[in-house]
Amino acid sequence: MPRKLDKIDLKIIKCLMSDARQSASQLSRDVGVSRLTIINRLKRLTEENIIDTKAGINIGKLGFQASIVALEVKADLKQQTERNLSECPRVLTLLRLNEKANLLVLLYGENQNTLGSTIECLRDLPNINIVYVHSLVPWFFPKTFSLRIFPEKNDLAPCGRKCSGCIRYENDQCVGCPAVTEYKGPL
């Protein structure tokens, strides 16, 4: 049975949603409980994966583009496809659906060409059909996402590909994967 959040938990979460940088002392004052209670609640909520406190990046302010792509993935490949897509730096959200399009992917790209290139990479995957693509312009809500940031770049992308072997990268239709040394984007 799922855990039920009480009023204190909900007040803490609401305060953090307005400003996740608040100190335990400030939260204590705002919620009306002791600092020790706040610390213990935050620890429990974090350990139980009910909350996280990651920095979000406003993709709109960086001029990035986003699209929703609905995929039809064969049942026997669905788990492997989900694992692979969850490793992709351009995937913001991955949702399971119970219809012909059984996987919904929210993607970003630094520009329209890179976003299109990422969508074409999905089209190249075996046993996957793109059911539809919706461009999300202008971006509305939420404003920020937890992007995967790679201060240390690798030769291969998490999917095992090398950007220099991609025709779209070589024709300057894509800035490459943010995880690789060949990446030409702002991250």
- Provide the residue ranges of all domains of the chain, joining segments of one domain with +: 7-47, 58-145
- Residue whose C-alpha is closest to residue 117's, from 166, 182, 58, 81: 166
Which residues have C-beta within 8 Å of that of residue 125, sequence separation ≥ 6? Answer: 81
Specify the pTM: 0.84
Look at residue 171 in the predicted model and tell me its pLDDT: 94
Look at residue 89 in the predicted model and tell me its pLDDT: 95
Look at residue 1 in the predicted model and tell me its pLDDT: 59
Domains 7-47 and 58-145 are alike in CATH topology: no
Alpha carbon distance 38, 47 (integer Å): 14
Q: What is the dihedral of CA 123, 141, 146, 133, to 10 degrees?
A: 0
Domain 58-145 has CATH 3.30.70.920: yes
CATH of 7-47, one of 3.40.50, 3.30.160, 1.10.10, 1.10.530: 1.10.10
Look at residue 118 in the predicted model and tell me its pLDDT: 95
Mean pLDDT in consecutive groups of 10 residues from the start of the chain, 187 residues: 86 93 96 97 94 89 94 92 94 94 95 95 89 86 87 92 92 95 94
Please provide residue 19's backbone torsions phi and psi, each rounded to the nearest 5 degrees. Answer: -160, 100
Which residues have C-beta within 8 Å of that of residue 34, sequence separation ≥ 6? Answer: 28
